Structure 1
Amino acid sequence: MGSEEQFREGMLVEVCSDDSDLRGAWFIATVIKAFNKRNKKVQIQYHTLTVDEKGTKPLKEFVLMVNLRPLPPREKDYNFKMNDEVDAYYNDGWWEGFVTMEKEGDRFVVYFRGSKEEIEFGKSDLRLHREWVSADASWLPPLFGEEAPFTMLDVSTSSKLEIDQNKNLSKLEVNFDEGMHVEVSSDEDGFVGAWFTAIVVKAVGENKFLVEYQTLRTDDETELLKEEVDALHIRPPPPESPQVEGFNRLEEVDALYNEGWWVGVISKVLGDSRYIVYFRENNEEIEFEQAQLRVHQDWMNGKWIRTSEALML
């Protein structure tokens, strides 16, 4: 079944928004008009978003395929713990964050990168964060007990593989040692969605590190920028993927732009090894040469996974 036929009329889905105030959230909706080949969109009706102050008239919108996904699976019971990547139900939608504190009575504090807030939630308002892989029509990570559709990759000599028998999952624990090459993300406006190469200078506290960027410099341009970052904003560099002859439309890539790697989707193949890449974070399209692109891989729960195709126009 093609991606266009996947979202049928009457189907329950989740929708993300390009609105700056709603970015990072997924809202439940129902498909009311399937994929339209003319405008390349699907019409949906939200369950929790309305057009009137009284909340009696549900909001309807035409949305791009890239902003749609099926409802994610959810464990019947899961014991959340520190640093779990989760979705929290807040302001009528599911927002991605990280558990930063476990409290009594099955309550947890979650940190949201986008708003730089920490908010307390009950267990029933949390679910494990998952990514939809349209190419395989699967969720990563899968429900516990299901076989994961990806393999472990050796990312550094300081990596240690530990098996959690209780959850039937493999977890990769990485020690960010002094001198290790890493990539670092930022929550600052204008930098969300980018990863910058850096070297670990030293550990400066529990789960905090001083890093020296390899492409970013101080304001006076005299030396490389150094900054303290926490464990949620640092990862090993992605393993080298097999060299590809070219990228296809709808393929998810990282593009080297403004001194960092930014995740985007190939929206047009121009020929002569040139491509137009669409960036959801700022709703822009930019032209790149193939040498400026790499296969996109995600660092999730201590593992590298590859989503080879994304939903797009």
Structure 2
Amino acid sequence: MDKYKVGMRVEIVGHSDGFWNSYYGAKVLREYIVEDADLKHIRPDPPESFDVNYRLTVGDDVDVYDRDGWWRGEVVFDELDDELMVYFPYIVGDDSETFGTFPYDDIRIHQEVKQVGKGFAVGYGV
């Protein structure tokens, strides 16, 4: 686990039924995993922001903060005052579970964080 140091902020990627493509903030306390978490399900925290002037719009790949985690979705409607409507293709359920309207403060552009050598690279909306 040499790429994750004690004290480092990370996200645990949900990988069980009902939690696919959700991300939960955590902090490395020790260099072993107490909970059943495979290293492939851990990533460093994505950078706080990208371009603060960027306006999210229809088709953007986003993460929405809801139910204590970040859930991956796609913006499907952006003509509301302070909110966006998001579709969650990875959630199986009725429309009330697969679509939702959220304030901008609870939405971030989706970022894929991948290890490159001894560091990490971030790709936006991948």
Shift of 1:29: 0.6
Query: Partner residue of 1:33?
Result: 30
Residues 114-193 of structure 1 aligned to structure 2 (within 5 Å): 114-115=90-91, 117-136=98-117, 137-141=120-124
Q: After superposition, give the CA deviation of every residue in 1:131-154 in whole Å (9 maximum; x if it has no partner).
A: 11212511013xxxxxxxxxxxxx
Query: Partner residue of 1:262?
Result: none
Among 29, 36, 39, the residue aligned to 1:65: 39
Among 72, 76, 82, the residue aligned to 1:100: 76
Shift of 1:16: 1.1
Distance 2:67 2:51 in 1: 23
Residues 205-220 of structure 1 aligned to structure 2 (within 5 Å): none
1:6 counterpart SS class = coil
2:20 counterpart SS class = coil
Q: Kindly provide the amino acid, as one letter, of the partner of residue 131 in structure 1.
A: E
- Asked whether the equivalents of residues 63 and 107 of structure 2 are also in contact (C-alpha less than 8 Å), the reply is yes
TM-score (norm 1): 0.35
Shift of 1:104: 2.7
Shift of 1:105: 2.1
Distance 1:81 1:22 in 2: 25
1:121 counterpart SS class = strand
Residues 1-313 of structure 1 aligned to structure 2 (within 5 Å): 4-34=1-31, 42-43=32-33, 61-73=35-47, 74-75=49-50, 77=52, 78-115=54-91, 117-136=98-117, 137-141=120-124, 300=126
Aligned-pair identity (%): 26
Q: Kindly provide the amino acid, as one letter, of the partner of residue 55 in structure 2.
A: N
Query: Partner residue of 1:195?
Result: none
Q: Kindly provide the amino acid, as one letter, of the partner of residue 101 in structure 1.
A: F
- Asked whether the equivalents of residues 72 and 90 of structure 2 are also in contact (C-alpha less than 8 Å), the reply is no
Q: After superposition, give the CA deviation of every residue in 1:225-284 in whole Å (9 maximum; x if it has no partner).
A: xxxxxxxxxxxxxxxxxxxxxxxxxxxxxxxxxxxxxxxxxxxxxxxxxxxxxxxxxxxx
Shift of 1:5: 1.2
Distance 1:124 1:75 in 2: 14
Q: Which runs of 5+ in 2 are unaligned?
A: 93-97
Distance 2:76 2:14 in 1: 26
Shift of 1:22: 1.4
Shift of 1:76: 6.0
Shift of 1:9: 1.3
Larger Rg: 1
Distance 1:75 1:106 in 2: 19
Q: After superposition, give the CA deviation of every residue in 1:147-196 in whole Å (9 maximum; x if it has no partner).
A: xxxxxxxxxxxxxxxxxxxxxxxxxxxxxxxxxxxxxxxxxxxxxxxxxx
Structure possessing the higher relative contact order (Cα contacts under 8 Å, 6 or more residues apart): 2
Query: Partner residue of 2:95?
Result: none
Structure (1 or 2) with the greater strand fraction: 1
Q: Kindly provide the amino acid, as one letter, of the partner of residue 94 in structure 1.
A: W
1:131 counterpart SS class = strand
2:28 counterpart SS class = strand
1:120 counterpart SS class = strand
